[in-house]
Amino acid sequence: MFLSARLPSLSLLFFLLLALLLCFSVVNSASNVTAKIGQGYRLISIEETPDGGLVGHLQVKKSNKIYGPDIPHLQLFVKHETQDRLRIHIADAERQRWEVPYNLLPREQPPASKQTIGRSRKNPITVSEYSGSAFTFSYTVDPFGFAVRRKSDGQVLFNSSSEQSDPFGEMVFKDQYLEISTRLPKDASLYGLGENTQPHGIKLYPNDPYTLYTTDVSAININTDLYGSHPVYMDLRNVGGKPYAHGVLLLNSNGMDVFYRGNSLTYKVIGGVFDFYFFAGPTPLGVVDQYTSLIGRPAPMPYWSFGFHQCRWGYHNLSVVEDVVENYKKAQIPLDVIWNDDDHMDGHKDFTLNAKNYPRPKLLAFLEKIHNIGMKYIVIIDPGIAVNSSYGVYQRGIANDVFIKYEGEPYLAQVWPGAVNFPDYLNPKTVSWWGDEIRRFHELVPVDGLWIDMNEASNFCSGKCKIPKGKQCPTGTGPGWICCLDCKNITKTKWDDPPYKINASGLQVPIGFKTIATSAVHYNGILEYDAHSLYGFSQAIATHKALQGLEGKRPFILSRSSYVGSGKYVAHWTGDNQGTWNDLKYSISTMLNFGIFGVPMVGSDICGFYPAPTEELCNRWIEVGAFYPFSRDHANYYSPRQELYQWESVAESARNALGMRYKLLPYLYTLNYEAHISGAPIARPLFFSFPTYTECYGLSTQFLLGSSVMVSPVLEQGKSQVKALFPPGSWHSLFDMTQIIVSKEGKYVTLYAPLHVVNVHLYQNTILPMQRGGLISKEARETPYTLVITFPAGASEGKASGNLYLDNDELPEMKLGNGYSSYIDFYATVSQGSVKVWSQVQEGKFALDNGWIIEKLTVLGLDGSGKASALEIDETPVNAVSNIQLSSTKQKHLEEVEDGGDKSSSVMVEIQGLSLKVGKNFVMSWKMGVKS
């Protein structure tokens, strides 16, 4: 929930006025970018470390006072940490500086700086190289600069040295201003640097602003620092027809501007250190694998979380919630999870129930009813704890000294309940207290997950505040986001008013604006100035620990704010969007970015959070949102109701699109497993599967689920067709498997897409496990399986493969070998007129115990027109009197993709009436009437 999302006209007026006030002080971004601040550093010594790294000593060449004095001596540490990861760490050589805490994000510690000063060799060679398996690191001495090359082909991936003609200068390292740049080839495609709403699509766009600082600014604001900070990018290049991807992370939690000019990239950071990690790829999937191996693998999500979710701010009482659940059932629209925003709370206070509108006995009876059929219930909690002497959560917080301090007292802010204090999740005592409060609340209400919102942290006020005397705050009338505390600005420290102004909120507002004052203090003297963007991340870790400790179950947590590593603990939604066609389009790019960030469980508010979608837009949005990894309809208090059953046309589109989602649940859940073990995004840009096909490098209007399911939605008003890009190969329609598209070299195809139709295609060489679907994932999960097997159109020779992961999804770990999971590889070949399909099962007991069977095979793309015959299962012929039926249907090719008029035929073969045990190896084969 966000103030601008409550009343757009007022907030827009506010920001316009603020922009006018700031216009005289804002430095022109172009001149800001090109200003050269210093002359850099000189490398005065370098040596090898006992563990095979390099450590060097840098001395500033000439100090100046722009943005404060330079730090005179720096330590350089370089290490090939793994075969495909290189670290370059540059910090103050004489005193400890702020870094992302090693207990929050575990990683190797660089050597202590005091061990190297004055002990190293005095005469390093002018240019030296340090090679690992994938990278070569080289440096120049005066001025110091470094380059990172790909060892296999010598490509320069990062080069910090500056030449006179460059629009950037040498490296700068001051207390509150760090700057470093790299040259880039013009044809490099960059992705990442978020969270922001990117109007130009997923590719970074030259001269767009990229500011990283967690901020409660609604996602409708384009090119603005939003709720998360992810200072990582992926660089994809096509060199001589070969694709190469690599990743670059600057692990730094301070506010920063990143200037991308197309042929260079400049970081301007207001604190911390340079802690670069380079990931070798060379595939996009490889980059994310290597990145998440450092920052933490994505959290395993429970099976039910891949069902459909319904939420609204404004379900005033329990009977409304009960009606929503009942109306979904009546409309035959799938629903797994019902949510409450803060309507269930007593006066917006965390961990409370409104006794009148959500009486506990009735709520418990409702939860027992929905739990019995497999549905789940999730509620919101905000970090701000109401300052209220009769409120037990607050009393225990004060007693345990868990709050962030300002001048020795708990920092006072205002959010929905009025005056609040913010828990300090960097404090171990706070983590214990938070866990205890969650335990107490779970005993009151057995919720199935938690939604942590407003955790940037959001504050309706700015500066130092106190509770006003003689007036009620908040008043209880009018908007709840108007600051009613008595506040004054804080500008007396360099932390509140740093010399360099990042482009905060897209308007260069003070960095303490509408958040915690940056001179406030956390545990162990840590400044909010440094730790600000870690707030939501630290809360996520504490919440995850608390939920997992309750019953030993796999937690589900949805967080608005995020940082590097958040995906290890939480899912994410993209915040307060609008019900507009642009917002629908933007949601795809943001979702795809978070997959790269290692947060694969992501989605946007379907139909928009506010103010009100049109009926047509809501139709189209559920057709996209049904294929978000996290699929939830959520609306604002002030918006009209927009549950999917409110319009019959939307209900029809929902039954269609969500009907397919629920059939695909085993595939989505298997992707969840792949994400957990390798970081692989669930929703991916097309270039992940087709990195050689440069046409898809900037494609932001279609996406893949896994490697081979492609969604091509309608994103424009009034359209009944969609122009979709089909990379080279054969694509089979999932909604009508008789339809096939053959794209020999890759091309755009105009697809038929009336109001209730969304185009979803399955790529060749795939085996896709599907089930019958249902209205609740628990029901859908118990139905028999179909294997959809795809070959290239008219294939007389071909291979296909796929897999399936099954487990007890309440267990906190997602792994094989515990007796509560099974993994099945499926394979198929066609060769010389014979088709063979078989499985290889690992840990089959779990699947056998659950009795899952495969009832049907659908094989697409086979060559010929003859019937299938001579069916064998486990080398035993199937006789004519069995219940097994074989049928063949000619597939329809779309004429416009038949390059050169080639009319090759392909058929679909269906084998029904099977009863193959999922948990046991099987082999099937048959003959086709094909041209051999």
Residues in Cβ contact with 389 at an 8 Å cutoff, skipping those fewer than 6 apart: 395
Residue whose structure tokens are 């979702």: 591
On whether the CB atoms of residues 411 and 405 are closer than 8 A, the answer is yes
Catalytic residue among 453, 496, 633, 863: 453
Question: Active-site residue 576, yes or no?
Answer: yes
SS3 432: helix
Catalytic residue among 179, 235, 350, 576: 576
Task: Considering only CA atoms, give the Rg of the chain.
Answer: 29
SS3 369: helix
Catalytic residue among 170, 336, 456, 496: 456
* 2: its two tokens: 């966000």
Write the single-letter amino acid at 327.
N
Length of the chain: 932
On whether the CB atoms of residues 669 and 682 are closer than 8 A, the answer is no
SS3 191: strand
Q: What is the DSSP string of 389-413?
A: TT-HHHHHHHHTT-B-EETTEEPEE
Strands (E) across 715-777 are located at 721-726, 729-733, 739-743, 747-752, 759-763, 766-771
Question: Active-site residue 453, yes or no?
Answer: yes
- Alpha carbons 194 and 222: distance in angstroms, whole number: 12
Q: Exposure pattern of 130-167 as b/e (b: 16+ CB <10 Å)?
A: bebebbbbbbbbebbbbbbbbeeeebebbbbbbeeebb
SS3 652: helix
On whether the CB atoms of residues 853 and 879 are closer than 8 A, the answer is no
On whether the CB atoms of residues 304 and 348 are closer than 8 A, the answer is no
Q: Give, for 858, the enclosing helix (H) or strand (E).
A: strand 853-862
Question: Active-site residue 456, yes or no?
Answer: yes
Residues in Cβ contact with 925 at an 8 Å cutoff, skipping those fewer than 6 apart: 834, 835, 836, 837, 871, 872
Residue whose structure tokens are 């850099």: 40
- Alpha carbons 564 and 275: distance in angstroms, whole number: 13
On whether the CB atoms of residues 863 and 903 are closer than 8 A, the answer is no
Name the region of 833 (left: φ>0; alpha: ψ -120 to 50; beta: rest).
left
Q: Furthest-apart CA pair in the chain: how many Å?
A: 92
- Alpha carbons 757 and 657: distance in angstroms, whole number: 8
Question: In 3-state terms, the chain is what percent helix, strand and coil (to 5)?
Answer: 25, 30, 45
- Alpha carbons 333 and 654: distance in angstroms, whole number: 7
What are the two backbone dihedrals, phi and then psi, of residue 550, each rounded to the nearest 5 degrees? Answer: -65, -60
Neighbours of 262 (CB within 10 A): 15
Cis peptide before 611 (omega within 30 of 0): yes
Q: What are the CA-CA distances from residue 408 to residues 27, 528, 534, 594, 834 (Å)?
A: 36, 14, 22, 38, 79
- Alpha carbons 182 and 190: distance in angstroms, whole number: 13
* 115: its two tokens: 């061990």
- Alpha carbons 621 and 200: distance in angstroms, whole number: 20
On whether the CB atoms of residues 452 and 559 are closer than 8 A, the answer is yes
Catalytic residues: 453, 456, 576
